[in-house]
Amino acid sequence: MTDTAETTAETTAQTRWLDADEQRTWRTYLEATQLLARRLSQELDESEHDLSLADYELLVRLSESPDRSLRMSDLADDLVHSRSRLTHAISRLQDRGLVERRACPEDRRGVLAVLTPAGFAALEAAAPLHVTGVRQHLFDQLPREDVEALGRICGRLAEHLR
């Protein structure tokens, strides 16, 4: 056997494979989260708001921050986006007048993403549709104890993955 084949065989032998229940849970989790994200994004896309789910979340993060602005690097971390993906998203939103970029006053190398009044208005207009979708497609489908369990589970996973 070659070194690569031996390493692959050792790795395969040491792998803790998913059992049937774990595999079913994993695939169901992927399907549910992808379907939910797709539905929420479709509802925003198909409305007069013309925002993607990612754009909506970006505007929310800016709206909740002091002065409605965040350093681009912090915003990328908050959204779990690469720097280049965030740069493209900000460029699209900037072209629409929803955000602008400004030099960071504390650090001239830093760049702030700033929510414009038009961006805040777009967010306010889209929020009822989005919240209705989240409620209808997620929270209304679960009993209260499952909502609480989902929050604990997602919190634990996020903490581990950070």
Any residues with CB less than 8 A from the CB of 55 and at least 6 apart, and which? 89, 92, 93
Residue type for 63, please?
Answer: S
CATH number at residue 91: 1.10.10.10
pLDDT tens-place string over residues 40-97 = 999 998 888 889 999 999 999 999 999 999 999 999 988 888 888 899 999 999 999 9
Residue 45 in any domain: the answer is: yes
The pLDDT of residue 5: 60
Which range (100-109, 110-119, 141-150) has the least confidence?
A: 100-109
Residue 126 in any domain: the answer is: yes
Residue 47 in any domain: the answer is: yes
Task: Report the C-alpha gap between 70 and 26 in whole angstroms.
Answer: 34
Task: Report the C-alpha gap between 117 and 68 in whole angstroms.
Answer: 10
Laid out side by side, the sheet with 111-115 consists of: 69-71, 111-115, 99-103
Residue 19 in any domain: the answer is: no
Residue 67 in any domain: the answer is: yes
**Token representation of residue 69:** 């602005």
Q: Give the count of domains, the chain.
A: 1
Q: What is the mean pLDDT of the chain?
A: 91
3-class secondary structure, 70: strand
Task: Report the C-alpha gap between 25 and 108 in whole angstroms.
Answer: 48
The pLDDT of residue 7: 63
Residue 9 in any domain: the answer is: no
% pLDDT > 70, the chain: 93
Structural domain of 33: 24-161
How many separate helices (H) and strands (E) can be counted in the chain?
Answer: 7, 3
